A = this chain, B = another copy of it.
Amino acid sequence: MEFTIDQIAAMLGGQVQGKSTEKISMLAKIQDAKPGQLSFLSNPKYEQFIYTTQASAVIVKKDFVPKKEITTALILVDDPYVSFTVLLEEYHKLISFQKHGVEEPSFVGKDVQIGKGIYRGAFSYIGNHANIGNNVKIYPHVYIGDNVVIGDNTIIHSGVKIYSDTRIGSNCVIHAGTVIGSDGFGFAPQADGSYKTIPQLGNVVIGDDVAIGANTVIDCATLFGDSTVINKGVKLDNLIQIAHNVEIGKNTVIAAQSGVSGSSKVGENCMIAGQVGIAGHLVIANKTSIGAQAGVSKSISEEGQRLIGYPVLDIREYFKSYAIFKKLPEINSRLADLEKKLGNN
């Protein structure tokens, strides 16, 4: 996994200034980089570091002109930050796709289609009629139910459990212990206080470029033909609960231990912090930002709000109120003083 500076420039469609044949094996921040490493300069306030960095090469904007002498090679591109993140992702893929071949014992059901270049770890299980794309990596102890479809280049880490009829896109990463397609929480109350189980007949559909953390749970939809949907580019952290019939919009990010209740639709490009709860049957507008531990109990229709609290308020209003909350005993005393003066008590 070493590349010459020339090879990296070619990957990025950039041009090299300086020594182009040196080998690069790692990516690092400009202030931390060591010889043999590659960095980037995007924010002008970091420009000082380019004159002292030990990086073998730095990706810079194509119109960059050094104000002092530099020793590092430069790779000139249109947008250094974008180029660097492209390399980060390429590097991520390189280190993720080292495993190949089949380890035994492993289990493959009937009428299974499996693409080229895959890894099937020992004790992995693939159910009947599953369809597995090219370059998919299935780690040990993965369970893939009947009729599951998995797109190209998707990585399923150890112990992931995927129920029947789930559809997963390409270029996804799912971390260990995550469960996809378990029954939604649906029970019909009876007169004697007991409950009968409502059969859960829908599935889960996950788009391309989705990342899911460890020990997260995504329930299937209730009715046949319906799906719980995680759209393209969504990033879910660890230990998250996604209930039946939820839809998470494109490129939305949800941090660890948050939960979305049944049938709620979360918009695109939202940022949901950790330990947040979203009640059922809500619609959350695009670009909503929800602070840690907040509780959302009503739909949010205006885009781009920043909210926190339970139930959620605008983040500035919440902190203003909370500042007074801390002083409530004092406010109570001041009120009592006034009442005394006015003879109320």
Contact = CB atoms under 8 A, between A and B. Distances in A.
Interface in A294-345: 295, 297, 310-311, 313, 317, 320-329, 331-332, 334-335, 337-339, 341-342, 344
Interface string A191-233: 1011111111100000001010111110100011000000001
A321 B261 CA distance: 25
A146 to B, nearest CB: 9
Interface residues of A, number: 110
Interface string A162-177: 0100000000010111
Contacts of A334: 335, 339, 344
Contacts of A143: 139-141, 158-159, 176
30 contacts: A28-B223, A82-B190, A84-B188, A88-B198, A89-B197, A91-B199, A92-B199, A105-B123, A125-B140, A125-B158, A161-B177, A175-B179, A176-B182, A193-B250, A193-B251, A193-B269, A194-B209, A215-B215, A215-B216, A239-B241, A243-B256, A274-B277, A275-B295, A292-B295, A293-B310, A325-B325, A334-B335, A335-B335, A338-B338, A342-B342
Interface of A: 26-28, 81-82, 84-86, 88-89, 91-92, 95, 103, 105, 107, 121-123, 125, 139-141, 143, 145, 157-159, 161, 163, 173, 175-177, 179, 182-183, 185, 187-188, 190-191, 193-201, 209, 211, 213-217, 219, 223-224, 233, 235, 237-239, 241, 243, 250-251, 253, 255-257, 259, 261, 268-269, 274-275, 277, 279, 292-293, 295, 297, 310-311, 313, 317, 320-329, 331-332, 334-335, 337-339, 341-342, 344
